[in-house]
Every structure is written in structure tokens, then in C-alpha cells.
Amino acid sequence: MGFGFIHNGIFLAIIAHSLIGVSLVWDKVLLRRPETRNLLSYVFWLGFISVFGLLLMPFGFHMLSLTAIILAFAAGLLHLVANFFYYAALKAGEASQTLAIMGGFSPVATALIAIGLLRHPLGRGSLLGFVLLVGGGFLMFFSEKLNYREMLPSILIASVSFGLVNVMQRLVFDATNFVSGYVVFTFGTFVGTLALLIRPSWRAQIFASPEKAEPRNRFWYFVNRFMAGVGSFLIFLAISETSPALVEAITGLRYVIIFLGAYGITKLHSDWLREDFSGPVLLGKTAATALVVAGLVVLGLNSEEESKVTQTPVIQVRNPGVATATATLLRLPPE
């Protein structure tokens, strides 16, 4: 079995958002527990593990241009800011609400920022899939009453921040290989995380010992962080292969995972998590799920057609040696 799927940005984004969706359901449960209610500490440790991105250095890292270094490093810093407001919104509202609303605003913010900076802001022939996915997010926005005053500012700041991060990273990947761009990006996030320790009051919050820390919860917390880290890595790998706006639009898949997970936990373990699934709300969420699934189907079909069109035709030649040498030269990456 080959590894061609690594170069399929749509497929990578689907896997990534599925992992993050599962992680976020558990995040919502953990953020209700006493030992994980400290949001600053929560985001600090989330950013701190980004240092493991440096382990990729032996697998193709080379020095970037100064412009690419600045872009990747700044994107890493901004990613920490985006995560803070993202989890602040998640803590303030219901899990399914927050993720679905992000699924509407964040792709639009990414697409608007990408216009004028990227050659194909929405990818090639993927407008319908993009509209369906984003529509699912906005349908959730109107499906129930929300605490706009508390949630919306964090959601908007997180959406714009993630949009900037995605476009900046795509610009970096266009200028260098994935490993080099990702290593500098994660180093930027790690440095930003260490900067949180400068302020004494923040440092005290980060290292404050919870009154009732349960070892079992701590274990699952780090398991969950690992899952989220793998998902985040795959997000940027997908961005290196396709349009950032499309990758962000597939955020709607997280909503489907959140919807199903939150519904199941609310029914089976309401002491862990309880969300509103009354008649009109359930109908709106179900319709939004249908839009997301339809969008994924459209993107999948477009991706398959594009791969068929872009495949290099087989040309028969009389001299196999010349053909082999030519093919080898064509596979060489640009300097």
C-alpha cells in the first residue's frame, strides 16, 4: 500500500478534524473539572508540547529565508493567541455551539485573508463544497439562543487569528518544504508559551496546584493533548497540500463529531456533560450536520476528479533508459 494519501490535503484535513473533534468533546468535559478550569494553565501546557515539533528536524529541515522565518515564527506566536480565545469560547458556551460557530466564521475569515495573497483562495472547483460546509456552521449559529456577549468576541478573535495563521503558513510552505516551515512554526509557539511565564501573576496561575487533582483525569488529559497534537500536525500538513480556506471549512466535521459526542454523553452520562438537545435545537443541528456531510461529499468528488486530471499520462518511448533518466530529473524538487 502506498502513501499517496499524504499528498491529499482534503483527506488529511478530514482525519485531522475528526481527531480534534473527539479531543474537543473530551476538552469540554475536562474544562468542567476543577483541575482543568484554569484556562491559562491549560493553554500553556497545550503550547508547551509544541516543542516536540523540533523532533522533525532530522527529516528534511534546512535554513529558511529571513522572510519565511519571520512569517513562520509569527504564525506560531499567533497560533497560541488563537488557541487561548478558542478555548475561552469553548469554556463559555456549549461545545457543539462553539465549534459549529467557529466552523462558520473561521473559514470565511481565512478565505477573505487569502484573497490577494494566495493564487487559489478556495482551491480549484471547490466553491460548492466550501459553501455547504460553511453553511452548516452558520445554520448552527441561528439554531438556538446563544450568550453572544460572552462568546462572540472570543469566537471572532479566534477565527481571524486562525485565518491569519493558516494563510501565513501556506505562504511559508510555498517558499520551503513542510518540515522546515513546521519546525520554525512550532518553535514560535514554544517561545510564546515561555513568554507567558514572564508575568508573575500568570506564572502563579500556570503552576498553581489544583485542590482536587485526580491522577486518572491527569492521565486522560495528556492522552487527549497527544490526540489534539496529532490532529493539529495533520492540519498544517493538509494546508501544505491544498487551500487553507478549504482545510478550515472542513472544521464543520468537528461539529458533527461534537454533536454526536455531546449528544451521547448528555444521554448516557449527564453528570459529565449536559447540553440542550430540545426539538428545534436538535432539528437545526441535524440539518447543519447534513450540510457538512454534503460538503464533504462534494469536496471528495472534486478531489478525485482533480487527481485524475492532474495525473501524468504514460508515454511510450523507444529508449527506456532515456525515459527513466527523464522521470528521475522531473521528480527532483526545485532548489
Could you report the per-residue pLDDT of 82-104, keeping only the tens digit for each? Answer: 988 887 877 766 555 555 566 66
187/243 Cα distance (integer angstroms)? 24
pLDDT tens string 104-161: 678 888 888 888 788 777 766 577 888 888 887 777 666 666 666 777 788 889 889 9
User: In the chain, what is the greatest distance between 2 CA atoms, to the nearest angstrom?
Assistant: 77
Residue pair 247/193 in contact (Cβ under 8 Å)? The answer is no
pLDDT tens string 283-324: 877 887 788 888 878 877 665 555 444 444 443 444 444 334
Identify the CA nearest to 228 among candidates 76, 77, 17: 17
Give the SS3 label for residue 65: coil
274's CB contacts (< 8 A; 6+ apart) are 266
129/94 Cα distance (integer angstroms)? 26
Instruction: Report which of residues 259 and 247 the model is more confident about.
Output: 247
Mean confidence (pLDDT) of the chain: 75
pLDDT at position 148 is 65
Q: Facing residues of 115 across strands?
A: 118
Which 3-state string (H, E, C) describes 221-265? HHHHHHHHHHHHHHHHHHHCCCCHHHHHHCCHHHHHHHHHHHHHH
Tell me: pLDDT of 74 over 90: yes
pLDDT at position 31 is 58
pLDDT at position 147 is 64
pLDDT band at 331 (very low <50, low <70, confident <90, very high): very low
2-6, 117-121, 154-158, 205-209: which is most confident: 154-158
User: Contacts for 67-70 with beta carbons within 8 Å, 24 or more apart?
Assistant: 67/175, 68/172, 68/175, 68/176, 68/181, 68/184, 69/184
85/93 Cα distance (integer angstroms)? 12
Instruction: Report which of residues 223 and 67 the model is more confident about.
Output: 67
pLDDT at position 61 is 92
Least confident range of 59-63, 75-79, 140-144, 169-173: 140-144
103/248 Cα distance (integer angstroms)? 8
pLDDT at position 169 is 92
Residue pair 64/173 in contact (Cβ under 8 Å)? The answer is no
Average pLDDT on 162-186 reads 92
pLDDT at position 7 is 59
Is the Cα dihedral 218, 220, 224, 225 positive or negative? positive
33-37, 192-196, 262-266, 299-303: which is most confident: 192-196
Locate 232 and state its grid cell.
493539529
pTM across the whole model: 0.73
SS3 content of the chain, % helix, strand, coil (to 5): 75, 0, 25
pLDDT at position 102 is 65
pLDDT band at 26 (very low <50, low <70, confident <90, very high): confident
224/301 Cα distance (integer angstroms)? 32
pLDDT at position 318 is 44
